[in-house]
């Protein structure tokens, strides 16, 4: 009887430890069971990949990438999607791109920081501009920001360079007619 009880306790303890270690990946799986098609915000469907979750606060939508285990850095990436407003002039006034670029450079300035851009894209006749920054010491970790002239959305990204394509895909998806 004692052996059975000890075995049950050992199995329970191992299960609890495994659940604790893999908690971040379980959170994303449960989130996707609840929201299998991503989220709908401000009239748009937002793409949310499997490793990511999304939440909104009425002003913006935040996508967060969680690691597989608690031993990795949390979060591994973030994307903020903000509907354009008059205060967010980049999406309204084409002349504001220089001011926005200057603000991006000031915010990301620092020793060993590499800033790239502005890069311009044309999507369905609309022009957008993006900037990117990274550290010389850790070029795989980047920040990026994009806005669309005459568009509805502004997006910010912070995370691994390998997730930048997801960011740009979401940005272009959000600004389609």
Q: Is the pLDDT of residue 78 over 60?
A: yes
- Higher pLDDT pick, 109 / 149: 109
Average pLDDT over residues 51-56: 87
What structural domains does the chain harbor? Answer: 2-174 (3.40.1000)
Q: How far is CA 137 from CA 66, 109, 132, 145, 160, in A?
A: 23, 14, 15, 21, 14
Question: What pLDDT, on the 0 to 100 scale, is given for residue 138?
Answer: 82
- 20 exposure class (CB count in 10 Å sphere: 0-12, 13-18, 19+): exposed
- The pLDDT > 70 percentage for the chain reads 80
For residue 123, name the pLDDT band (cuts at 50, 70, 90). Answer: low
Residues in the chain: 177
Question: Considering the entire predicted model, what is its pTM?
Answer: 0.72
- Higher pLDDT pick, 18 / 32: 32
- pLDDT one-digit tens code per residue, 88-102: 444 445 555 667 778
């Amino acid at each position: 009887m004692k052996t059975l009880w000890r075995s049950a306790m050992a199995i329970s303890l191992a299960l609890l430890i495994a659940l604790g270690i893999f908690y971040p990946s379980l959170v994303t799986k449960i989130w996707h069971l609840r929201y299998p098609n991503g989220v709908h915000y401000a009239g748009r469907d937002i793409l949310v990949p499997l490793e990511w979750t999304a939440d909104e606060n009425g002003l913006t939508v935040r996508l967060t990438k969680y690691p597989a285990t608690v031993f990795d850095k949390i979060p591994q990436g973030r994307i903020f999607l903000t509907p354009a407003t008059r205060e967010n002039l980049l999406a309204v006034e084409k002349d504001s791109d220089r001011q926005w670029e200057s603000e991006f450079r000031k915010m990301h300035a620092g020793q060993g920081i590499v800033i790239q851009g502005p890069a311009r894209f044309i999507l369905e006749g609309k022009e957008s501009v993006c900037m990117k920054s990274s550290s010389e010491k850790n070029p795989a970790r980047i920040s990026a920001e994009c806005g669309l002239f005459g568009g509805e959305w502004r997006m910010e990204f912070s995370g691994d360079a390998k997730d930048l394509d997801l960011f740009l895909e979401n940005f272009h998806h959000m600004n389609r007619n």
